[in-house]
Amino acid sequence: MKKLLLLLALSVTGMRYGYSQSATNLTITANDSKLTISRHIYGQFSEHLGRCIYDGFWVDPKLQVAKQDRIRLDVVEALKKINIPNLRWPGGCFADEYHWRDGIGPRATRPKMVNTNWGGVSEDNSFGTHEFLELCKLLKTEPYIAGNMGSGTVEEMAKWVEYLNCSAETTVTNLRKQNGHPEPFKVTFWGVGNESWGCGGNMTPEFYSDNYRQYATYARDYPGTPLKRVASGSNGKDYNWTEVCMKNIGRSMWGLTLHWYTLPTGDWGKKGSATQFDEKEYFNTMKNCLEMDEIVSKHSAIMDKYDPGKKVALVVDEWGIWTDPEPNSSVLYQQNSLRDALIAASTLNIFNNHCDRVKMANLAQTVNVLQALILTNKEKMLLTPTYHVFDLYKVHQDAKYLPIKFESPDYEIDGKKIPALNVSASIDANKVIHISLVNLDANKKISIKTSLKGLNWSTVSGQILNSEKLTDVNSFENPNKLKIAGFAGASKQGDELVADLPAHSVVVLTLK
Ligand code: AHR
């Protein structure tokens, strides 16, 4: 009888407080270490591919939108709002066929080339070094340039860095002055090749790492602009590539890259649709997405062997969902659904939780390509659900990382299981705590109870991204179907934070 009364009392308390007794317990602890979540984890990628640069950022002079030169300003304004910290350019595979001298000087006389990687289209080089750096200036973002190692020479790369960063008078810097930029551009993030195991030259890791040493030597540090040299790293689970690069290059690089894309079916031949999928395919997609955690952990463990002080960054400079393109669309153009938002939010949680090693990452790609933040159609543009995740998560940029412990409930389908809940947390310079929570379960809400050890707070507010269906998208006809809304499902109960997270939602809580 006593037991029954106790149970009754507990469930009444639970009902009053609005949380279920089977809540998942989270513990967030104040962290004494200096570990911060680098803002560069929130980087973007823009390649000469499909309609990302041309007809995305850089548009027809006749298009009736606000522009500076040919840079589309509504796109710039939207990206400024989410504080993009760096922008990677010109590729991707395109980078290893790009010759920078073709993209400077009077546009009318710039050489034309064929973009062999992406549709065999003509590249008129109207968007080159100066145009990219003007775009970065407008975006208030740091440029991250990928130099050509696949088909370019050591001299070509060396001269590009001189053109960008040298203040002494040389033939190359005079050319920069002649092209309208007397002062050095001061570019620091410098990629030495891209996917050198594949489109960037089909190299072995041994051959690549020897080449890296040569190219990186002559890509000089000019006064006031030490380069952060980033070596071309592994294709997903190729751990040997990381092992060889760490052994042969070690601390002579600032960072080593990793590329990992989420394929809904896991099959490069038939990746799956961006908008038409059932719950099983959704489950499979999320399972593939969450693999990022194990992949990052395994590369980090190898890096730890050679670099226990964690000086070399793991730079995940290509990630995101890669689906079949939309029918009759431009190269790698895909729609973006609530599923994409859950992928972005979960992946960013993984990176935040690995911020001791992952110091930079770049979503592929910013506009009109793969998991885009923005889609454009002539004068129209829309913000994708993925954009809204970057908007929600910008609070973590350069904030101090807070460790979290919890055991996630399972999301189960056909006897297969994935963790339904993923979370990351940080505390900013004003001592405001942010917790980003993702409920991947397609059907069930998750109740959480959180104790925050050593942290002071008295109020909680929240924001949510959710929609009725996982396949919901923002379209040009209905561009605001998915947008950030206020979240009232969290409260302080005693010393604990309790919340109910709706099925398939992203919630960011602010504790003050
Ligand atoms: O992001 C699209 C392509 O994917 C990039 O050009 C290449 O680096 C990767 O294979």
For residue 206, give the CATH number of its domain.
Answer: 3.20.20.80
* 24 and 43 together in one domain: no
Q: 55 CB under 6 A from ligand 1?
A: no
Q: What percent of the chain has pLDDT over 70?
A: 96
Q: What is the mean pLDDT of the chain?
A: 95
* pTM summary value: 0.95
For residue 394, pLDDT beyond 70: yes
The residue from 346, 368, 398 where one domain ends is 398
Q: What is the pLDDT of residue 22?
A: 81
Q: What is the pLDDT of residue 12?
A: 39
Choice from 45, 47, 232, 334 to test ligand 1 binding pocket (greatest atom count within 8 A of CB): 47
Q: 92 CB under 6 A from ligand 1?
A: yes
For residue 426, pLDDT beyond 60: yes
Buried b (16+ CB within 10 A) or exposed e, 98-119: bebbebbeeeeebeebebebbe
Q: What is the pLDDT of residue 6?
A: 39
* 240 and 147 together in one domain: yes
* Max Cα–Cα distance, the chain, nearest Å: 92
Whether 234 is in a domain gets the answer: yes
Does residue 247 contact residue 303 with C-beta atoms inside 8 Å?
no
- Which residue's CA is the nearest one to ligand 1's atom 6? 92
Q: 258 CB under 6 A from ligand 1?
A: no
For residue 482, pLDDT beyond 80: yes
* 380 and 436 together in one domain: no
* 394 and 416 together in one domain: no
Buried b (16+ CB within 10 A) or exposed e, 358-369: bbbbbbbbbbbb
For residue 11, pLDDT beyond 60: no
Which of 26-35, 134-143, 176-185 is predicted least confidently?
Answer: 26-35
Q: What is the pLDDT of residue 210?
A: 98
The residue from 347, 376, 398 where one domain ends is 398
For residue 4, pLDDT beyond 60: no
Whether 191 is in a domain gets the answer: yes
Whether 266 is in a domain gets the answer: yes
* 391 and 408 together in one domain: no
Residues 6+ apart with CB under 8 A from 118: 47, 48, 49, 50, 93, 94, 331, 332
- Which residue's CA is the nearest one to ligand 1's atom 9? 92
CATH code for the domain of 489: 2.60.40.1180
Q: 93 CB under 6 A from ligand 1?
A: yes
Residue 47's domain spans which residues? 38-398
Whether 95 is in a domain gets the answer: yes
pLDDT digits (tens, 9 = 90+) for 319-344: 999 999 999 999 999 999 999 999 99
For residue 5, pLDDT beyond 50: no
* 354 and 425 together in one domain: no
Does residue 234 contact residue 208 with C-beta atoms inside 8 Å?
no
Whether 10 is in a domain gets the answer: no
* 313 and 445 together in one domain: no
- State the catalytic residues: 195, 318
Does residue 450 contact residue 26 with C-beta atoms inside 8 Å?
yes
Nearest to 239 by CA among 167, 294, 312: 294
Q: What is the pLDDT of residue 157?
A: 98
* 436 and 378 together in one domain: no
Q: What is the pLDDT of residue 419?
A: 98
Whether 14 is in a domain gets the answer: no
Domain count along the chain: 2
- For range 373-382, the mean pLDDT: 98
Query: Where does the pLDDT of residue 485 fall: very low under 50, low under 70, confident under 90, or very high at 90 and above?
Result: very high
Q: What is the pLDDT of residue 19?
A: 41
Q: 350 CB under 6 A from ligand 1?
A: no
Q: 317 CB under 6 A from ligand 1?
A: no
* 366 and 486 together in one domain: no
For residue 430, pLDDT beyond 50: yes
CA gap 322, 154 in Å, rounded: 33
* 370 and 411 together in one domain: no
Q: What is the pLDDT of residue 237?
A: 98
- Which residue's CA is the nearest one to ligand 1's atom 5? 92
Whether 221 is in a domain gets the answer: yes
Choice from 53, 259, 319 to test ligand 1 binding pocket (greatest atom count within 8 A of CB): 259
- For range 148-157, the mean pLDDT: 98
Q: Find the helix packing angle between 73-81 and 129-139, rounded to 10°.
A: 50
- Which residue's CA is the nearest one to ligand 1's atom 7? 92
- Per-position DSSP letters for 118-187, written without gaps between them: TTTEEE---S-HHHHHHHHHHHT-EEEEEE--SSS-HHHHHHHHHHHH--S--HHHHHHHHTT--S----
* 489 and 503 together in one domain: yes
Determine the distance separating the centroid of ligand 1 and the alpha carbon of 91, expressed in angstroms: 7
pLDDT digits (tens, 9 = 90+) for 220-278: 999 999 999 999 999 999 999 999 999 999 989 999 999 999 999 999 999 999 999 99
Whether 88 is in a domain gets the answer: yes
* 259 and 319 together in one domain: yes
Angle at 44 between CA 124 and CA 223, to 5 degrees: 80
- Which residue's CA is the nearest one to ligand 1's atom 4? 92
For residue 14, pLDDT beyond 50: no
Does residue 28 contact residue 455 with C-beta atoms inside 8 Å?
yes
Q: 325 CB under 6 A from ligand 1?
A: no
For residue 17, pLDDT beyond 90: no
Choice from 94, 195, 202 to test ligand 1 binding pocket (greatest atom count within 8 A of CB): 195
Does residue 187 contact residue 164 with C-beta atoms inside 8 Å?
yes
The residue from 398, 425, 451 where one domain ends is 398
Q: What is the pLDDT of residue 358?
A: 98
